[in-house]
Amino acid sequence: MSDLPGDLLYTKDHEWLRREDDGSVTIGITDHAQGALGDLVYVELPEVAQDVDEGGDMAVVESVKAASDVYAPIGGNITAVNEGLSDDPEKINSDPYGDGWIVRMQPSDGMDEGALMSPDDYQQFIDELDD
Amino acid sequence: MGSKTPLYDKHVDADARIVDFGGWDMPLHYGSQKEEHHAVRGNAGVFDVSHMTIVDLAGKRVREFLQYLVANDVARLSEYGKALYTAMLNPRGGVIDDLIIYYLSDTDYRLVVNAATRIKDLAWIREQAGAFDIAVNERAELAMIAVQGPNARELAAPCVAPDYRDAAMAMKPFFGMLGGDWFIARTGYTGEDGWEICLPAAQAPGVWDRLLAAGVVPCGLGARDTLRLEAAMNLYGTDMDESVSPLEAGLDWTVAWEPGDRDFIGRAALQALRDNPSKQRFVGLLLEERGVLRNHQKVVVEGVGEGEITSGGFSPTIGRSIALARVPAGDYDRAQVEVRGRLLNVRIVKTPFVRNGKIQIDT
């Protein structure tokens, strides 16, 4: 397993979040998630300026194997989507924490970091799943 | 914990993602399903198919028995080793399983049936065989390796014992031959050239290593599924089962109606359906927009009715999504598929989608 980036926060749904300087939050799925999904072949993205509720459907990632919902880990307004995934969804496989980012949003109520996992906590979480 | 094939340790050593398949712990992929898929279309890949069930039938009346047991007619097999694809039906015409039958002699045939249906298949065959005095011998001690792709035979030939190598290379498609304690058949489930090899379990790991050393790519069940979907080869339990007749699963060509007095199990039910104009069509679909077709999605034919995708997925060779579907009778070549509440446009296309490395449909 690759090392988890230390500057991200993580969820039990295998998403990562990064707080940007402008207060927005970039979201993607983790290396563990892309590994479980297999080769990605299609990503359904939300509309820019769309509002999403915490826990609501935000995107769908489809691999050769199956379709998987990506739920919004926080509520907010979508400010950008990764259009590059339309032509090259495998960016999520090859670079899940970089070029494979999925959406950026402006959180409606800030980001409750207490509800999210640190890299160490997430590492422990996936280690326990693998046992 | 499921059953393990003689190659299980090889899969684990290669970091395969292991999944349960019909009670067997099998490799899904070894890293990238798409790369494995492309290796088979462009060069050669190898699959562990030791979970498949090999059954040898022997007896004086074995031909007569098989003419009763399956919908295709083994009388079509007159040359040594010739293979026949067929379905075993219940009296209602539903498919108990699909299988390949190899003709070895007038008193010996080899059957290869599916893994997930093993128990019911063996019970059914034994039950029907009772009246014919047939020996039904499962060959669980054999492993089975499928090496597939345009270069597969050439790369695998050095593994074959020298005494049988030339004969194996000269063998025509859809034939098999015994060579010592091996059985080599020029058959497969990918739409490419290649061999399926039955061999003693203890020899399988060594052959596997030699094939990999020769540049053959190990492939899992994931690639096996996308390859067979592109080749429009049915998957039992997905495209057909005991509630579906071969006539509504695209398997009309495997039913031998002549001679008309051959009384195979399910014949009467099939004949009634054959002449029914409302019987469903089994078709190939090409998605005309972005997205992925999946099993069980609803097919909507405006003004006609609704059907269902039986096998859907992404075609790595075409770069778009394709599917097999059971749809209402009627003359039409366009439909829509409901994906997460939206209707996406699909075109009905003649299958196979891909064969021998080449796309067969207009994209």
Whether residue A1 has pLDDT greater than 80: no
Residues in chain B with CB shorter than 8 Å from the CB of A86 are 290
Q: What is the mean pLDDT of residues B28-41?
A: 97
Residues B314, A62: C-beta atoms closer than 8 Å: yes
Q: Six-digit token pair at B322?
A: 């394709």
Name the pLDDT band for A109 (thresholds 50, 70, 90): confident
Residues in chain A with CB shorter than 8 Å from the CB of B294 are 66-67
Alpha-carbon distance of B335 to B328, in angstroms, equals 11
Residue A79 has what pLDDT?
A: 97
- Which percentage of chain B shows pLDDT scores above 70? 100
Name the pLDDT band for B107 (thresholds 50, 70, 90): very high
Q: Best of B34, B35, B38 to disrupt the A interface by mutation (most A CBs within 10 Å)?
A: B34
Enter the ipTM.
Answer: 0.87
**Residue B231 backbone phi and psi in degrees, to 5:** -80, 0
- Which percentage of chain B shows pLDDT scores above 90? 98
Does CATH number 2.40.50.100 belong to domain A9-125? yes
Alpha-carbon distance of B282 to B309, in angstroms, equals 10
Q: What's the gap in Å between the CA of B218 and the closest CA on chain A?
A: 16
Three-state secondary structure call for residue B262:
coil
In terms of DSSP H, where are the helices of A22-73?
31-37
Q: Which residues have C-beta within 8 Å of that of residue B89, sequence separation ≥ 6?
A: B70, B71, B95, B96, B245, B246, B264, B265, B266, B269, B270
Residue A113 has what pLDDT?
A: 74
DSSP A2: P
Alpha-carbon distance of B252 to B244, in angstroms, equals 12
Using one digit for the tens of pLDDT, what is the confidence trace for A64-104?
988 999 999 999 999 999 999 999 999 999 999 999 999 99
Residues in chain A with CB shorter than 8 Å from the CB of B29 are 38
Residue A131 has what pLDDT?
A: 63
Whether residue B14 has pLDDT greater than 90: yes
Alpha-carbon distance of B201 to A33, in angstroms, equals 36
The answer to whether residues B105 and B178 touch, using CB atoms and an 8 Å cutoff, is no
Name the pLDDT band for A58 (thresholds 50, 70, 90): very high
Residue B52 has what pLDDT?
A: 97
Residue A2 has what pLDDT?
A: 58
pTM (predicted TM-score): 0.94
Using one digit for the tens of pLDDT, what is the confidence trace for B304-363?
999 999 999 999 999 999 999 999 999 999 999 999 999 999 999 999 999 999 999 998
Average pLDDT, chain B: 97
Residue A116 has what pLDDT?
A: 92
Q: What is the mean pLDDT of residues B231-246?
A: 98
Question: What ranges do the domains of chain A cover?
Answer: 9-125
Residues A41, B292: C-beta atoms closer than 8 Å: yes
Residues A42, B292: C-beta atoms closer than 8 Å: yes
Q: Which residues have C-beta within 8 Å of that of residue B93, sequence separation ≥ 6?
A: B245, B246, B247, B266, B269, B270, B273
Whether residue B1 has pLDDT greater than 80: no
